[in-house]
Amino acid sequence: MLVIIGLTLRYLPSQPSDERIWLDTDGTILGIVGIIGGSLLAGYYGWIRQLRPLVITGRLI
């Protein structure tokens, strides 16, 4: 936590600027879908211990 605070104080500007902040909407949506999808699949296939075999395009993985 101290490292994160220290790096934040070092690299963020101390004065506000008029620069427009750009949000990567495609990456944000892809990240959210990946987290939700991964959580749902982990619930079905198992988080740590395998509950079912993972089959992708007919191949057992």
Please, which pLDDT band fits residue 57 given cuts at 50, 70 and 90? confident
- Cα 16 to Cα 10, 11, 40, distances in angstroms: 15, 13, 40
What pLDDT, on a 0 to 100 scale, did the predictor assign at position 15? 75
Per residue in 32-48, pLDDT (tens digit) is 999 999 999 898 899 89
Q: What would the mean pLDDT of 11-31 be, rounded to a whole number?
A: 84
Per the model's pLDDT, the better-predicted residue between 11 and 37 turns out to be 37
Residue at token pair 């509950």: 51
Using DSSP, state whether 53 is helix, strand or coil. Answer: coil
For 53, residues 6+ apart whose C-beta sits below 8 A from its C-beta are 60, 61
Please, which pLDDT band fits residue 5 given cuts at 50, 70 and 90? confident
